[in-house]
Structure formats: structure tokens, C-alpha cells
């Protein structure tokens, strides 16, 4: 068994694990990331696209914001299309100038990998059977295997940044862990295409045939989604069928402007709301998708990972810098307070914009009344804007 030691053992090299490692490194705190996949595999996953100001600021402070600021797009609002019209939600006006940054999660992950490599960060790829041990004691450790060799990583703390299907949440004692889940009766079929976006800003569309979203990664790379049945299969969606369905669900002017092209990525993501409580047990801390999942309607998944890392990194830094554990002791409560508000927003946006198969005539009337009320109320629009740009890290 090959052994090594670090201060913080991190499971997972997604945005959560990479950002935590980078922030800790800048404070002189050593970490090792154990990732079960290759770097190419991690970079091959197409996911989030909308960054709250809090995440964008964290990336800048972590020294990985330059390409985002050069290539990303700052958006001051987005549209909601329904009943043949379009409602513009102004973000900056009601929030004192707050905006969102459009910059793909893939690029964030690429920037973080590059920074970690530049600064000598230690990431073990293709680490198999990563297992936390002695999380209740003061000398936790991780075991894993790689290329048939067994390894042990001794550490002071373990950060479970291994996503929804990871090992860390499962390592919390069953009598301690409480989970809350809602699985939605539909999924999102997503397409990435090297085509100019259909509009300057995002369009969220509510339509009798189902939800649709027009997003982007740049002026030459577009990201589109349509709501699809939970048991649907990408094989049922040749490009032409996807483009025709998307056009059907968009307002006529957007449909007429839509530039179609071959999909370079096509996948179906299930939608669920999920929260774990607590986010800490002993020396094990959960962060990001390992701790919670939101339906992507509110563009909160990646952004919640950022606020978790903000709270967790400050707790770890205070521990090592001032021998002060208050941040670690309050991490779970602080992170969860923000998580639940984002769960609420993501759930409400999903309820507002999707067709729920079980809904009856009254439910459909309620959904339309919600949209009509939103369209007629600057206060309701301000509330939506406040949540979309991201609630404070407090
Ligand atoms: P991640 O899942 O990104 O990373 C976890 C890492 O841990 C992975 O690299 C994994 O390989 C590794 N890992 C897992 N188990 C391990 C083990 N046992 N040992 C070692 N390593 C292990 N959010 C949005 O805001 N907008 C979106 O449009 C959006 N679309 C999404 C689409 C899909 C299909 C999915 C799954 C998520 C989407 N999300 C979206 C949410 C997504 O962006 C997450 O919030 C974000 O990836 C969270 O980052 P991490 O917490 O780092 O988890
Ligand atoms: C995306 O660009 O992938 C995206 C944007 C906004 C969302 C969800 C996904 O709400």
C-alpha cells in the first residue's frame, strides 16, 4: 500500500473539487483530489452555462477568471415566452446592477485544471474505489486503487465533491443522514450546435407541448433544450425532429430566426430536486452535487456548488490560519440555508414553465395566471430577478 499525506483530501475533480483545491492552495493549504475519471472525460460533460455574480467573483479571486472575462458574455436580463408573446425580465434594474455571466461549465473546469496544473496541484485521475475512513476521528484517511496498486491518503479533512452518484454521501452514517427528494415526470433533451444563438439573451419558453430553452456558450455556439418524457431516448430525436419541435415551442419571430445545424452534443438529463442534511459528519464535508441537486430551470446547480465552496473554504482557512473552527461548525447550516432558497426558486421556475402530465384544467389555469401575474407585476419580476442573479452568500 502506497501512502501519502495532505491537509484536505478532496473526492471529485468537477467544479466543486477543483475550485476548493484552488482556493485552498492560494491560502497555502495543501490538498489532493482523487478523481475516478480522466481529465478528458470530465471536460467532455456538457453542463451549466449561467454563472451568478458570486461564482464569477470567486473565479476571479481564485485567479481563474481571465478567460471568462475575455470570452464570456454579461447578460442583463432574459425573456420568458408564453401565449405567443415574450416577457423581458430585467436583472440589473431591480437588483442594483447585478447581472449573470454566460460561460460554460466545461470552460470553467478547463481553466481550473490549467491553474491546478500550473501551480503544481495534485490530482489523481482514474482513482478507483475511493473510500473514506475514520471520518468520526481526528485522523481520517482515504483509500483508493490505481492501475492495480492500493493507495492510502492521510488527511485532516475530507471534502466530498463527488457529485450525485459519488461515494461521500453514502459514507455518512445512515442514522445521521436525512435526504429530501422530488423527481420530476420529465427530462431535458439538450443539444449543442455550432450555430449563432437565436437571440441576444436566453429565452425560457412555456408551451402546451412542453418547455424549451434557448441558451448559448458564445456567438457561434448555441445550447438548446426541450422538455421530453422521462423515459425518452436520444435515438428518438434526429436533429431535424429536434429543430422542428424547438421551433414549434418558440415565439414565431424566434422560430423564424433560428439557425439550425448539426448537433455536436445531444443528451437527456433527468430533473430532480434533492437535498442532503447535514452536510458534515465529523471530518467529512459534502459540497456541490454530492449534497444537493436542483432542476436546471433556475440555472442554480453549479452556482450552489460555488457558495458551498465559499463557506467550506472559509471554514478550512480559519481552522488552519487562526485555529478557529466556527466556520467548519456552521458550514452545514450556512450552506443549507442558501441551498433551500435556491431549491425553492428552481422548483418554482420548473412548476411555472413545464407541462406536468398529471396537471388538470385548473392546474393549467393556475400556471397561466402565474405567468400573467408575473407579466403584470414589476414586484414579481424583481423577485424573480433577485433569485436569478443569486441570493447573497450570507
Ligand atoms: P460534478 O458531478 O460536476 O463532479 C463530480 C466529480 O466527481 C466528477 O468528475 C466525477 O467523475 C467524480 N466522482 C464521482 N464519484 C466519484 C468517486 N467515487 N471517486 C472519485 N471521483 C468521483 N447546472 C446548471 O446550473 N445548469 C445546467 O444546465 C446544468 N445541466 C446539467 C446537466 C447534467 C447532465 C448534469 C448531471 C448536471 C447539470 N447541471 C447543471 C448541474 C451541474 O452543473 C452541477 O451543478 C455541477 O456539475 C456540480 O459540480 P460538482 O459538485 O463538482 O459535481
Ligand atoms: C445552459 O446554458 O446550459 C443553461 C442555461 C440556463 C438554464 C439551464 C441551462 O436555466
Taking CA atoms only, the protein residue closest to ligand 1 atom 31 is 47
H or E segment to which residue 154 belongs: strand 149-154
- Please report the DSSP string for 232-296 in residue order: --GGG--HHHHHHHHHHHS-HHHHHHPPP--EEEEEEEEEEEEEEE-SEETTEEE-GGGTEE--G
Residue 245, ligand 1, Cβ within 6 A? no
Name all residues whose Cβ lies below 6 A of ligand 2.
48-50, 202, 215, 223, 296-297, 299
If asked whether residues 379 and 333 sit together in one domain, one would say no
CA of 48 to the centre of ligand 2 (A): 6
Name the percent of the chain lying above pLDDT 90. Answer: 98
Statement: residue 268 has pLDDT above 90: yes
Residue 302, ligand 1, Cβ within 6 A? yes
pLDDT of 1 reads 87
CA of 392 to the centre of ligand 1 (A): 23
**Cell numbers found for residue 278:** 447535514
CA of 248 to the centre of ligand 1 (A): 31
CA distance 302 to 183: 19
Q: One of 204, 224, 225, 393 is an active-site residue; which one?
A: 204
CA of 329 to the centre of ligand 1 (A): 26
If asked whether residues 294 and 335 sit together in one domain, one would say yes
Question: How many Cα neighbours within 13 Å face the side chain of 377?
Answer: 13
Annotation marks residue 225 as catalytic: no
pLDDT of 270 reads 95
Domain end (from 349, 364, 379): 349
Sheet architecture: strand order including 122-124 = 122-124, 31-34, 8-11, 157-160, 284-286, 280-281
pLDDT of 377 reads 98
Annotation marks residue 141 as catalytic: no
Most ligand 1 atoms within 8 A of CB, residue of 17, 55, 162 to mutate: 162
How many other CB atoms are found less than 10 A from the CB of residue 248?
15
**How many folded domains does the chain comprise?**
2
Domain-located, residue 376: yes
Statement: residue 229 has pLDDT above 90: yes
Residue 223, ligand 1, Cβ within 6 A? no
Most ligand 1 atoms within 8 A of CB, residue of 296, 299, 307, 310 to mutate: 296
Residue 36, ligand 1, Cβ within 6 A? yes
Q: Please name which of 281, 261, 273 lies closest in space to residue 297, comparing C-alpha atoms.
A: 273
If asked whether residues 8 and 19 sit together in one domain, one would say yes
- CATH number of the domain where residue 13 is located: 3.50.50.60
Q: One of 15, 140, 251, 296 is an active-site residue; which one?
A: 296
If asked whether residues 106 and 254 sit together in one domain, one would say no
pLDDT of 46 reads 86
Q: Cell numbers 481526528 correspond to what residue?
A: 138
If asked whether residues 327 and 212 sit together in one domain, one would say no
Taking CA atoms only, the protein residue closest to ligand 1 atom 9 is 14
Residue 147 burial (10 A CB sphere; 0-12, 13-18, 19+): exposed
If asked whether residues 190 and 250 sit together in one domain, one would say yes
Rama region for 120: left / alpha / beta (φ>0; ψ in -120 to 50; rest): left
Most ligand 1 atoms within 8 A of CB, residue of 11, 12, 164 to mutate: 12
If asked whether residues 299 and 227 sit together in one domain, one would say no
Statement: residue 343 has pLDDT above 90: yes
Residue 19's domain comprises 2-74+101-180+272-349
Q: One of 25, 75, 266, 334 is an active-site residue; which one?
A: 75
If asked whether residues 326 and 243 sit together in one domain, one would say no
Residue 192, ligand 1, Cβ within 6 A? no
Domain-located, residue 252: yes
If asked whether residues 114 and 43 sit together in one domain, one would say yes
- Note the ligand closest to the C-alpha atom of 20: 1
Most ligand 1 atoms within 8 A of CB, residue of 132, 163, 169, 188 to mutate: 163
pLDDT band of 57, cuts 50, 70, 90? very high
CA of 215 to the centre of ligand 2 (A): 6
In this prediction, residues 116-135 reach a mean pLDDT of: 98
- CATH number of the domain where residue 198 is located: 3.30.9.10
Amino acid at each position: 500500500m502506497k501512502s501519502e499525506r495532505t491537509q484536505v483530501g478532496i473526492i471529485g475533480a468537477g467544479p466543486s473539487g477543483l475550485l476548493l483545491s484552488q482556493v485552498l492552495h492560494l491560502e497555502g493549504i495543501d490538498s489532493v483530489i482523487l478523481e475516478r475519471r480522466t481529465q478528458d472525460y470530465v471536460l467532455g460533460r456538457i453542463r451549466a452555462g449561467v454563472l451568478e455574480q458570486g461564482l464569477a467573483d470567486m473565479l476571479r479571486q481564485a485567479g481563474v477568471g481571465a478567460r471568462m472575462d475575455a470570452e464570456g458574455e454579461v447578460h442583463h436580463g432574459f425573456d420568458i415566452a408564453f401565449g405567443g408573446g415574450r416577457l423581458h425580465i430585467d436583472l440589473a434594474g431591480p437588483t442594483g446592477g447585478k447581472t449573470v455571466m454566460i460561460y460554460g461549465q466545461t470552460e470553467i473546469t478547463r481553466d481550473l485544471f490549467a491553474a491546478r496544473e500550473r501551480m503544481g496541484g495534485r490530482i489523481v485521475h482514474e482513482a478507483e474505489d475511493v473510500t473514506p475512513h475514520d471520518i468520526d476521528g481526528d485522523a481520517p484517511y482515504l483509500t483508493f486503487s490505481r492501475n492495480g496498486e492500493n493507495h492510502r491518503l492521510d488527511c485532516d479533512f475530507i471534502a466530498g465533491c463527488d457529485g450525485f452518484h459519488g461515494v461521500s454521501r453514502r459514507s455518512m452514517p445512515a442514522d445521521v443522514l436525512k435526504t429530501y427528494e422530488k423527481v420530476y415526470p420529465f427530462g431535458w433533451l439538450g443539444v449543442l450546435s455550432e450555430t449563432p444563438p437565436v437571440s441576444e439573451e436566453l429565452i425560457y419558453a412555456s408551451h402546451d407541448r412542453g418547455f424549451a430553452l434557448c441558451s448559448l456558450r458564445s456567438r457561434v455556439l448555441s445550447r438548446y433544450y426541450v422538455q421530453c418524457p422521462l423515459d425518452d431516448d436520444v435515438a428518438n430525436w434526429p436533429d431535424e425532429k429536434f429543430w422542428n419541435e424547438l421551433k414549434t415551442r418558440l415565439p414565431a419571430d424566434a422560430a423564424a430566426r433560428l439557425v439550425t445545424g448539426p448537433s455536436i452534443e445531444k443528451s437527456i438529463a433527468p430533473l430532480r430536486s434533492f437535498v442532503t442534511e447535514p452536510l458534515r459528519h465529523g471530518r467529512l464535508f459534502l459540497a456541490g452535487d454530492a449534497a444537493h441537486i436542483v432542476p436546471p430551470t433556475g440555472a442554480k446547480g453549479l452556482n450552489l456548488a460555488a457558495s458551498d465552496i465559499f463557506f467550506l473554504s472559509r471554514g478550512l482557512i480559519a481552522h488552519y490560519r487562526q485555529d478557529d473552527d466556527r466556520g467548519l461548525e456552521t458550514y452545514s447550516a450556512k450552506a443549507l440555508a442558501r441551498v433551500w432558497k435556491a431549491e425553492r426558486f428552481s422548483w418554482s421556475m420548473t412548476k411555472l414553465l413545464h407541462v406536468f402530465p398529471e396537471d388538470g384544467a385548473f392546474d393549467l389555469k393556475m400556471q397561466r395566471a402565474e405567468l400573467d401575474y408575473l407579466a403584470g407585476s414589476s414586484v414579481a419580476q424583481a423577485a424573480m430577478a433577485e433569485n436569478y442573479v443569486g441570493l447573497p452568500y450570507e
